[in-house]
Structure 1
Amino acid sequence: MSNPFAPHGGQPSPDPAPTPGSRSGEQSPFAAPAPSPSPGSQGWGAAPDTDLPVALPPGPTTATTGPWHFVSAAAVTAVLSIVLGLAAWLGSTATEPLWLTLSGLGWFTAGIVTFILLGLHIQADTKRQAAGLYVSNPTQTLLYRAALGVGAVGVLINAVEIALWFGKAYGG
């Protein structure tokens, strides 16, 4: 009984014909290679022909690190938010509109701008890690964590100041 899953319709493949000038069963080292079977005749589970050339990038491979511009800007905006919170506390009272303006700008700077910049940093850093040779920088990681912590403190300081203003302006 023949195998219905065999590549050549269940029939055993014939031995290759000997080339002229060779002994029986041997192939001449100068003979042309046997033709490869067409892709349709390889059968199930056979690997496709993948002799395609692979293009390598020109020049030497260089290592990259994470982007500095987003994490640096995030650190600056986090510190700015604390400065705005302190300016509101030192420069006015909780019943003045200047208090609310400085606290609102400080909260927006820390809560919105800083964390968006940190998110953009993570996105760009992940793309660089996936693109090729990547070397992490401990200073950049430290700056990221510092911006994250200072931004959280800035959000808390300014949120408390906004709550104090609303409590004094509209409280009984």
Structure 2
Amino acid sequence: MGHGGNVIAELEADHREVEEMFARLRAMTGRGQELRDLVDQVTIELVRHSVAEEQYLYPAVREHVPGGDALADKEIGDHARVEEILKKLERMDTADTQMSPMLRELMDEVTSHVQDEENNLFPRLAQACTPEQLDDLGDKIRRAKSMAPTRPHPAAPSSPGASKLLAPGAGLVDRARDFVTGRGRS
């Protein structure tokens, strides 16, 4: 989280981090606390990333990219599906027989979303925006991730205005809960 660079470099670095975590999940043979810790880490990164994209990336896509409304709506729909899966995983015991299929579903959804962004959305955004606009968006994304929630909140509004207003408070509560429970420290 917080890699530096323009918005595309920042988000692509996030994508590579999540892909690394997915590789660790695929290679993991055990269950228990080690699996819970890794699922929590994946959840934290995906939630922060999604909130930041919804606050700044998708509004920029709507504003600058021809056909941007449809692109942004599709990506927000992807996020909603991922957040529902994350919420189920958060409640699930690692010994549950549905854990592995649910993790596969998560990885498939996120991988498809990443490919779509990197092959379709990012090139169109790069063409539509100046380097200065892309740098400014990168700064905004980094700030948003630092204050974003760390737990899925599927019922939370996904509109940029509501998210900018509510996410810092939810993020503060989530980080306090994480501190008390030790979640995300591994």
Higher helix share: 2
Larger relative contact order (CA 8 Å, sep ≥ 6): 2
* Class of the TM-score when normalised by the shorter of the 2 chains: 0.3 to 0.5
Work out which of the two has the higher radius of gyration on C-alpha atoms and give 1 or 2: 1
